[in-house]
Amino acid sequence: MSGLPDVEELEKDWSELSDEFRSLEAANQSYQELHERLEEMQEKCTKQIQHQRYRMRQISKHVKTYLTKEMVTHTNKEKLTQLDKGIMKRKAQIHEIEQCLPQQNSRYLKIILGDVNVSILNRNDKIRYKDEYEKFKLILNVIGLLLSFLNILYNYRALELVFLFLLVWYYCTLTIRESILKVNGSRIKGWWRLHHFISTVCAGVLLVWPQGEPWQLFRNQFMYFNVYISLVQYMQFRYQKGVLYRLKALGERHNMDITIEGFHSWMWRGLKFLFPFLFVGYLFQFYNAFTLYQLTEHPDATWQIPVLSILFLILFVGNSTTTLLVILQKQTERTENRYRLMSFIASKRQKTVREPTTSNEGGDGANADLNADSQKTK
């Protein structure tokens, strides 16, 4: 038959392919051996880290005991202080080493995913995953903004359910992704993670809130709230992204740090203008809680109303308190730095005043010696 290769050619192709397969088997064997070796080295490093931490705890305990004693000599105190600094540095070094080793899942991830290993060992893959997380938040934020706006224009139950289901899915996915980022070294603070868990529950309760007059009384207010929050979050994302990039370039922030809905200490430089927008959003949460509290007295009120009122109140208190604590912390740091600077300048001035006096005294003494010598010569 025309177009078909000869049987001899097929046998030749198969023979060449068999040779290539043997090469593949050898490469696979080498890969398996390297993988087993890698697992052995990972286990060895993990055990050595545990040993380092155990020994450091013992040494640190003894150092602190010595430092509390009054009979320690000045030389020994300096040595103990250097030891304490060395322990702190070693802890940071061990933390960096751990980022290249598999980490245990949090309890939440174990419940959701089981014992699946979610550790990302390659640094570039970690940063890529973090960037995907940021992109996910931005895209869903824009979609949420559009759906909220459409729900203000059109009062359709199907459109409401699409938006509420999106909120549930978004916050569930966000908590899972943040937990994976946390395992891989991202420093997400406690309240902002808890904030997303509470928001997940809040979205779930809103989804099962039945149609009725209480829902219709709260509906438009909730949609306006989401429009405002989406706009503020988009603004935060755009500005935080730039500040984080600059701080990472200067080595002042970790590569796995992410943008957040609230305010953090690293945002102090360049993002203080966001305070009014944030606090208006927090007051909106309080207003939602107050409106829902009033709706609890409605004849058709269901259990969802008081639960949502409490959840919005918790969000208001948590967000406001956390942001205010950051402001107080930064103000305290600025005051301390100002006093340190003033003390440093004052000590410099005193040193400058003393130096001419000392040099004049030395000059007078030298002149007296010269006069005495001249008298002896005479």
Q: Say if residues 203 and 167 touch (Cβ distance below 8 Å).
A: yes
Same domain, yes or no: 83 and 114: no
pLDDT digits (tens, 9 = 90+) for 287-297: 999 999 999 99
Q: Are residues 293 and 177 in the same domain?
A: yes
For tokens 């290539």, name the residue: 20
For the four alpha carbons of 30, 33, 36 and 42, in that order, the dihedral sign comes to: negative
Q: Half-sphere exposure (CA, 13 Å, Cβ side) for 9? A: 4
Same domain as 276, residue 181: yes
Identify whether 356 is part of a domain: no
State which of 56, 73, 101 marks the end of a domain: 101
pLDDT of residue 203: 96
Same domain? For 20 and 129 the reply is no
If one counts the domains in the chain, the total is 2
* 204, part of any domain: yes
pLDDT, tens digit, for every residue of 176-221? Answer: 998 888 888 777 777 888 999 999 999 999 999 999 999 999 999 9
Rounded to the nearest 10 degrees, how much is the dihedral formed by the CA atoms of 128, 132, 138, 141?
A: -150
Distance CA 68, CA 80 (A): 11
175 found inside a domain:
yes
Has residue 350 been placed in a domain?
no
Please tell me whether residues 89 and 229 are part of one structural domain.
Answer: no
Residue 48 corresponds to which tokens in the numbers above? 């050595």
- Shared-domain flag, residues 133 and 52: no
- Give the pLDDT of residue 346: 60
Residue 217 pLDDT? 95
Could you tell me if residue 122 is inside a domain? Answer: yes
CA distance 184 to 178: 10
Domain that holds residue 278: 110-335
- Report the SS3 class of residue 271: coil
Query: Are 247 and 316 within one domain?
Result: yes
Q: Do residues 73 and 36 share a domain?
A: yes
43 part of a folded domain: yes
Residue 372 has what pLDDT?
Answer: 44
Q: What is the pLDDT along the chain (378 residues), one digit of tens a residue?
A: 556 778 888 888 999 999 999 999 999 999 999 999 998 998 999 999 999 999 999 999 888 888 787 777 888 888 888 898 899 999 888 988 887 888 888 888 888 888 888 888 887 788 788 878 888 988 999 999 999 999 999 999 999 999 999 999 999 999 999 888 888 877 777 788 899 999 999 999 999 999 999 999 999 999 999 999 999 888 877 766 665 555 555 554 454 554 444 444 444 455 567 788 889 999 999 999 999 999 999 999 999 999 999 999 999 999 999 888 877 876 676 565 565 556 656 666 665 665 555 445 444 544 444 354 544 444
Report pLDDT digits (tens) over 316-327. 999 999 888 877
70 DSSP 8-state letter: S
Judged by DSSP in three states, 278 sits in helix
For the chain, state the CA radius of gyration: 33
Pair (154, 82) in one structural domain: no
Same-domain status, 297 and 169:
yes
Query: For residue 223, what pLDDT is reported?
Result: 96
| Nearest of 85, 106, 87 to residue 95 by alpha carbon | 87
Asked whether residue 36 falls in the same domain as residue 169, the answer is no
Q: Helix (H, G, I), strand (E, B), or coil: what is residue 135? A: helix
Residue 365 falls inside a structural domain: no
* Domain end point (choices 101, 122, 149): 101
Name residue, tokens 């927090």. Answer: 282
Task: Establish if 291 belongs to a structural domain.
Answer: yes
The last residue of one of the domains, among 76, 101, 126, is 101
266 and 129 in a single domain? The answer is yes
Q: Give yes or no for a contact between 148 and 86, defined as CB atoms under 8 angstroms apart.
A: no
- In this structure, how many other beta carbons lie within 10 angstroms of the beta carbon of residue 148? 21
**Residue 336: partners with Cβ closer than 8 Å, 6 or more residues away:** none
Contacts (Cβ under 8 Å, ≥6 apart) of 252 = 266
How confident is the model at residue 220, as a pLDDT? 95
Q: Could you report how far apart the first and last alpha carbons of the chain are, in Å?
A: 134
